[in-house]
Each structure stands twice: as structure tokens, then as C-alpha cells.
Amino acid sequence: MGEDKSTYTDHVISLLVFNHPGVLSKITSLITRRGFNIDSIAAGPTKEKDMFRLTIMVKGDDRSIEQIQKQLYKIVDTFKIMTIHPARKVEREIGLIKVKAPMGERNEVLQMVNVFKGSILDSSTSGFVVEITGSSDKVDSFISLFPSNQIVEVARTGIVAMDRWEKQ
């Protein structure tokens, strides 16, 4: 399979899987074994009580992504796989960012949080814990506003995504 990484793009794969023991490790180890890196993964319950939904972001070309989907489908606990179409997707990620904000710099940080429609979850004289919700890009760009030594800690959920309603 092609080694040329220039054609690689981000792909979001969404799976409905049965909540059986070991299913998460089956899925992640299969993806790794077939030579892919997982950029992010998010898992949570669905409206069906014995199923959960995984949203996985991987890089690859179209052909290799198709291959990985077919392989994932062969896991017996996989019920359904959905490709999230880039043009039609709605996606969200939450990032918690602990950012230094000593006296004198606090206003500047608060302004940024406002621009990004984030919220302050915790504040102390040293700084804030900020929540940013939105696309992965949005979380990325918030973080990139600060020099790296100003960011103390980052925790991100990984994206969750689904297709929009079909246009009527």
C-alpha cells in the first residue's frame, strides 16, 4: 500500500459497537496493527443501551481508510460503521486548558477566552482553567495563541462527529 504520505488527510470514522468486554482494545489494536496512528478517539453510550459509539480520527489516503473500515467491520462486535463526510460533518471537541495569567496579563487572557466563546472553569492568582468547545481547529487555534510556556496543561476529549441532516 502507498507509502506516499502527501495524499494523507484527516478522516473521521464513526462506529457503533456492542459494549462487550475488550471491544475497545480490539478496535484500537486492529488500527495500530494495520499501520495507522490514531489522532483521537472518543467513546460514549448511545440511545441503544448495549451499544456505544466511537469516533476515531486517523490520517490516511482514501484507499487505506477504506481498507481500515473494512477491517473494522470484521470485528464481530462492530454493528455499524459510518464515514463522516468532511463536507457534511458537524463536529465538537472540548479542550480544558490551564493557562498562566499572572496579575497584569489577566485581561488579555480573558479577552481571548471571550473571543473564543470559552468559559472560565477555575481561576486563581496564577491563572485560569479555560474550557473551549468547538471544532478541533478552534481548540488548536486557541492554544496556539499563547507561548508554550504559558500553557501548563491541556486535556482534550477528541472529537465527536456526525453527519448533518440530508438537505430536503
Query: Applying CB under 8 A, which residues contact other proteins?
Result: 1, 17-18, 21-22, 25-26, 29-30, 33, 63, 66-67, 70-71, 73-80
Instruction: Choose between 1 and 87: whose C-beta lies nearer to other proteins.
Output: 1
Residue 16: CB minimum distance to other proteins, A: 9
Residue 71: CB minimum distance to other proteins, A: 5
Residue 33: CB minimum distance to other proteins, A: 6
Spell out a b/e string for 21-37, using b for 16 or more CB atoms within 10 Å of the CB, else e: eebbebbeebbeeeebe
Q: Please, which residues bridge with residue 123 across strands?
A: 128
Instruction: Choose between 18 and 146: whose C-beta lies nearer to other proteins.
Output: 18
Instruction: Choose between 72 and 113: whose C-beta lies nearer to other proteins.
Output: 72
Q: Which residues contact 17 (CB under 8 A, 6 or more apart)?
A: 23, 27, 51, 52, 53, 54, 75, 77, 78, 79
Spell out a b/e string for 138-166, using b for 16 or more CB atoms within 10 Å of the CB, else e: bbeebbeebeeeebeeeebbbbbbbeeee
**Cβ pair 153, 95 in contact under 8 A:** no
- 94: Cα within 13 Å, side-chain hemisphere: 8
Instruction: Choose between 65 and 97: whose C-beta lies nearer to other proteins.
Output: 65
Residue 26: CB minimum distance to other proteins, A: 6
Q: Please, which residues bridge with residue 20 across strands?
A: none
Instruction: Choose between 25 and 124: whose C-beta lies nearer to other proteins.
Output: 25
Residue 73: CB minimum distance to other proteins, A: 7
